[in-house]
């Protein structure tokens, strides 16, 4: 199948760290996107991972394990403005881009 | 550089009608993709256009169609609207190849309500 699985909703506290997981089918896998989407707004690009390992961009990091079909987005020093949906999307060798349903992240003070 | 623009932003239609949505990509971007977004379903890929040709298509019925003009602007059309077509329709542009990992830049979307 082509399922991409993400938790539907997560809650975290301001200042803390949260990890949002994404699992996918490994066949034909090329790379994996993470996008952020605030309520009522368009998605915006966060990262694109092709190789195994962790890529850090400020407070946000994205990890990929190609063999395990697994990625996570790590958000540190959470701020209220990080409340949003986080979308995982996979590019495949058959020229497909498949999106997960997104994880709604709620930040509490 | 201006971002991706979509018109109209909001639409209310009745079942059986048809609708045309418009998208202007970022200047210089030649790839335009269309998505349908509904609560709990995430982004569902409709189609992608590049240089006026449909390059990729998702699993939507033939009532959903699109086209791209020589200036890269794109339109999508939905005929014989159904209640289930109520959704946010997002357009995204990229330089040439989002499916090869290029960043897509999304427009604000058109929110369609079918009554």
pLDDT tens, position by position, B67-103: 999 999 999 999 999 999 999 999 999 998 887 788 9
CB contact under 8 A, A43 and B106: yes
Chain A residues within an 8 Å CB radius of B109 = 42
B16 CA: distance to closest CA in chain A (Å): 27
The length of chain B in residues reads 115
Question: Which of A39-48, A69-78, A87-96, B22-31 shows the lowest mean pLDDT across its residues?
Answer: A87-96
Does the pLDDT at position A93 exceed 90? Answer: no
* Count of positions (residues) in chain A: 109
Q: What is the CA radius of gyration of chain A?
A: 13
**Taking a C-beta distance cutoff of 8 angstroms, is the pair A32, A49 a contact?**
yes
Q: What is the predicted pLDDT for the residue at A2? A: 60
- Extract the tokens encoding A97: 């881009």
Interval A15-44: pLDDT, tens: 999 999 999 998 889 999 999 999 988 999
> Which chain B residues are within 8 Å of A5, Cβ to Cβ?
none
- Which of A37, A35, A98 has the alpha carbon at shortest distance from A69? A98
Instruction: Report CA-CA distances (Å) from A107 to A15, A18, A37, A39.
Output: 9, 10, 14, 13
Share of chain A above pLDDT 90, in %: 82
Please enumerate in sequence order all residues whose Cβ is within 8 A of that of B69, keeping only pairs 6 or more positions apart, or say none: B52, B75
Which tokens hold the place of A105?
């992240």
Listed residue (B36, B32, B108) closest to A99, CA to CA: B36
Instruction: List, as ranges, residues 8-67 from A with C-beta within 8 Å of B.
Output: 8, 30-31, 33, 41-45, 48, 50
| Mean of pLDDT values over A38-51 | 93
* Residue A85: pLDDT over 90: yes
pLDDT at B1: 65
The alpha carbon dihedral of B24, B60, A9, B12 has a sign of positive
Return the number of CB contacts < 8 Å for A and B: 52
Closest CA to B88 of A106, A24, A85: A85
Respond yes or no on whether the N-terminal peptide bond of residue B8 is cis (omega within 30° of 0). yes
CB contact under 8 A, B98 and A42: no
Is the pLDDT score of A1 beyond 60? no
Kindly report, residue by residue over B28-77, the tens digit of the pLDDT.
Answer: 999 999 999 988 778 899 999 999 999 888 889 999 999 999 999 999 99
Question: CB neighbours of B44 closer than 8 A, spacing ≥ 6?
Answer: A99, B35, B36, B37, B38, B58, B60
Helix, strand or coil, per DSSP, at residue A72: strand
């Amino acid at each position: 199948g082509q399922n991409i699985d993400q938790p539907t909703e997560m809650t975290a506290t301001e200042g803390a760290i949260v990890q949002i997981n994404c699992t996918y089918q490994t066949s034909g896998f090329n790379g994996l996107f993470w996008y952020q989407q605030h309520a009522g707004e368009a998605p915006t690009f966060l990262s694109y991972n092709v190789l195994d390992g962790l890529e850090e961009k400020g407070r946000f990091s994205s990890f990929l394990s190609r063999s395990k079909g697994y990625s996570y987005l790590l958000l540190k020093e959470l701020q209220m403005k990080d409340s949003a949906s986080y979308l995982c999307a996979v590019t495949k060798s058959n020229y497909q881009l498949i999106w997960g349903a997104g994880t709604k992240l709620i930040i509490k003070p | 550089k201006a971002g991706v623009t979509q018109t109209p932003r909001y639409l209310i239609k009745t079942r059986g009608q048809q609708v045309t949505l418009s998208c202007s990509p970022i200047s210089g971007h030649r790839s335009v993709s269309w998505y349908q977004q509904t609560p709990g379903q995430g982004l569902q890929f409709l189609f992608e256009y590049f240089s006026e040709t449909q390059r990729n298509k998702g699993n939507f019925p033939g009532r959903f169609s699109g086209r791209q003009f020589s200036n890269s602007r794109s339109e999508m059309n939905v005929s014989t609207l159904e209640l289930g077509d109520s959704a946010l329709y997002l357009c995204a542009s990229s330089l040439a190849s989002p499916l090869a990992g290029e960043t897509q830049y999304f427009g604000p979307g058109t929110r369609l309500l079918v009554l």
